[in-house]
């Protein structure tokens, strides 16, 4: 802005000096100068610290080979792969635990919220008690407790606890039946995506022509393509039960104690907050809305679907967005119990390479990006549920 003014000849030069005399402008310039000076000093100081020089800094180390193993990973990873790949493993693990936490804490939160609003006084009290207990204890304490419990409180593999056949709880992890992977599943996912797209397009066209297609047709559009693919492949479905082989269980799906502790802890803690958000959302709808709907002759279910739920969604979407962002950020506490997500990977990398500035910058960039993606997605959802304001 100021540089532009400088270029515009002599008459503007006087305007510039006049501008510079204003105290607002002086204060802002002084602030910028101060920030530049502080940052410059910090960079100088960081550069002068022993062991850091131009060759060593920068993010080039991401292509170097790492020598550590990671406990679990969604993509193949072993010692000898690059640091960059280790970070990718960390990101995927963060996303995995965040998605599990978001889904489960929403379901549990909804159940507790409904319990609180139920006609039964005792149920409401019980739900209230749950909320007060779980939201007033630090999440880290809960995570450490669950992790300690899962590795110290559960029996060894030989005496595995088996509440249901095929489910084994041991101090090495939780073993549950898994579905054997098949090529068909990839195609089914694609077919599902196409089906959803078709449903969206068809209902948009229908809306433009001022008609509506029924929910049944929409469900059919979404569900038939993947089902057809499934049958076309000859319905490949086989469940793999975990079984004892040697010193450990083989087969099925394994949840590591770290992952299980993260999901349990995040779910129980966040469900308490989500329950409060949802309850406030339902209670935030004036009673007159229900009464008006009754007066119009709507059924209970119609009132719920057409009047209460749309308005509740409008109220709870922004705070739920916040809650989901919190889960994603709080999954970083996994570093304390050794679940290999972003912060843990960065921490190990930092210890191995001594690139403290780069590693911390990476943590921040990754979380900022994740936060931006989540808020962008949920802002879209929010735009859909919000009332059109005049």
Task: Output the smallest distance, CB 185 to other proteins, in A.
Answer: 34
Task: Output the smallest distance, CB 145 to other proteins, in A.
Answer: 4
Rounded Cα gap, residues 347 and 227, in angstroms: 45
3-state secondary structure of 70: coil
Q: Which is nearer to other proteins, 25 or 244 (CB)?
A: 25
Contacts with other proteins by CB under 8 A lie at 24, 27-28, 31-32, 35, 41-43, 45-46, 49, 118-123, 125-126, 132-133, 136-142, 144-145, 148-149, 152-153, 329-330, 332-333, 335-336, 343, 347, 350, 356-357, 360, 363-364, 367-368, 371-372
Task: Output the smallest distance, CB 284 to other proteins, in A.
Answer: 17
Task: Output the smallest distance, CB 180 to other proteins, in A.
Answer: 37
Q: Which is nearer to other proteins, 141 or 237 (CB)?
A: 141
Task: Output the smallest distance, CB 136 to other proteins, in A.
Answer: 4
Please give the helix or strand (H or E) that residue 244 lies within, else none: strand 243-245
Rounded Cα gap, residues 262 and 102, in angstroms: 12
Burial of 308 (C-beta count, 10 Å sphere; 0-12/13-18/19+): middle
Q: Which is nearer to other proteins, 45 or 389 (CB)?
A: 45
Q: Which is nearer to other proteins, 143 or 188 (CB)?
A: 143
Alpha-carbon torsion (239, 245, 249, 250), positive or negative: negative
Task: Output the smallest distance, CB 37 to other proteins, in A.
Answer: 13
- Which residues, including other chains, have CB under 8 Å from residue 125's CB and lie 6 or more apart? none
Q: Which is nearer to other proteins, 188 or 264 (CB)?
A: 264
Rounded Cα gap, residues 102 and 100, in angstroms: 6
Cβ contact 160:254 at 8 Å:
no
- Which residues, including other chains, have CB under 8 Å from residue 337's CB and lie 6 or more apart? 143, 144, 147, 258, 261, 262
C-alpha distances out from residue 94 to 103, 203, 284, 320, 338, Å: 14, 35, 34, 19, 12
DSSP state, residue 169: E
Q: What is the CA radius of gyration of the chain?
A: 28
* Torsion angle of C-alpha atoms 198, 199, 201, 202, degrees rounded to 10: 110
Q: Which is nearer to other proteins, 14 or 122 (CB)?
A: 122
Task: Output the smallest distance, CB 322 to other proteins, in A.
Answer: 10
Task: Output the smallest distance, CB 67 to other proteins, in A.
Answer: 21
Q: Which residues pair with 248 in a beta bridge?
A: 245
Task: Output the smallest distance, CB 256 to other proteins, in A.
Answer: 19
Q: Which is nearer to other proteins, 69 or 347 (CB)?
A: 347
C-alpha distances out from residue 99 to 94, 139, 315, 321, 324, Å: 9, 17, 22, 13, 9
Cβ contact 346:334 at 8 Å:
no
Q: Which is nearer to other proteins, 153 or 236 (CB)?
A: 153
Please give the helix or strand (H or E) that residue 175 lies within, else none: strand 173-176
Q: Which is nearer to other proteins, 27 or 296 (CB)?
A: 27
């Amino acid at each position: 802005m100021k540089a532009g003014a400088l270029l515009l000849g002599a008459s503007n030069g006087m305007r510039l000096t006049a501008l510079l005399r204003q105290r607002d402008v002086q204060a802002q310039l002084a602030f910028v100068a101060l920030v530049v000076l502080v940052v410059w000093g910090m960079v100088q100081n960081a550069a002068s610290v022993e062991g850091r020089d131009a060759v060593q800094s920068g993010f080039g180390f991401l292509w170097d080979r790492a020598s550590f193993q990671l406990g679990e990973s969604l993509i193949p990873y072993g010692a000898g792969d690059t640091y960059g790949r280790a970070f990718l493993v960390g990101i995927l693990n963060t996303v995995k635990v965040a998605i599990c936490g978001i889904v489960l804490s929403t379901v549990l939160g909804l159940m507790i919220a409904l319990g609180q609003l139920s006609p039964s006084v005792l149920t409401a009290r019980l739900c209230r008690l749950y909320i007060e207990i779980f939201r007033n204890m630090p999440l880290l304490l809960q995570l450490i407790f669950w992790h300690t419990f899962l590795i110290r409180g559960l029996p060894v593999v030989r005496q595995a606890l088996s509440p249901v056949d095929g489910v084994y709880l041991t101090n090495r992890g939780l073993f549950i039946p898994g579905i054997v992977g098949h090529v068909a599943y990839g195609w089914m996912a694609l077919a599902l995506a196409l089906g959803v797209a078709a449903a969206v397009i068809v209902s948009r066209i229908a809306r433009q022509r001022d008609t509506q297609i029924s929910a049944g047709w929409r469900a059919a559009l979404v569900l038939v393509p993947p089902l057809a693919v499934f049958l076309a492949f000859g319905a490949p479905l086989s469940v793999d039960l975990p079984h004892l082989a040697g010193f450990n269980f083989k087969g099925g799906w394994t949840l590591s104690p770290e992952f299980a502790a993260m999901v349990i802890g995040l779910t129980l803690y966040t469900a308490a907050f989500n329950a409060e958000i949802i309850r406030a959302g339902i209670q935030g709808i004036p009673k007159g809305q229900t009464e008006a709907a009754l007066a119009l002759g709507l059924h209970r279910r119609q009132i719920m679907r057409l009047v209460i739920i749309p308005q509740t969604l409008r109220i709870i979407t922004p705070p739920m967005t916040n809650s989901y962002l919190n889960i994603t950020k709080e999954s970083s506490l996994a570093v304390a119990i050794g679940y290999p997500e972003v912060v843990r990977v960065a921490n190990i990398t930092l210890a191995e390479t001594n690139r403290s500035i780069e590693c911390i910058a990476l943590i921040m960039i990754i979380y900022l990006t994740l936060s931006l993606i989540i808020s962008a997605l949920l802002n879209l959802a929010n735009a859909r549920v919000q009332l059109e304001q005049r």
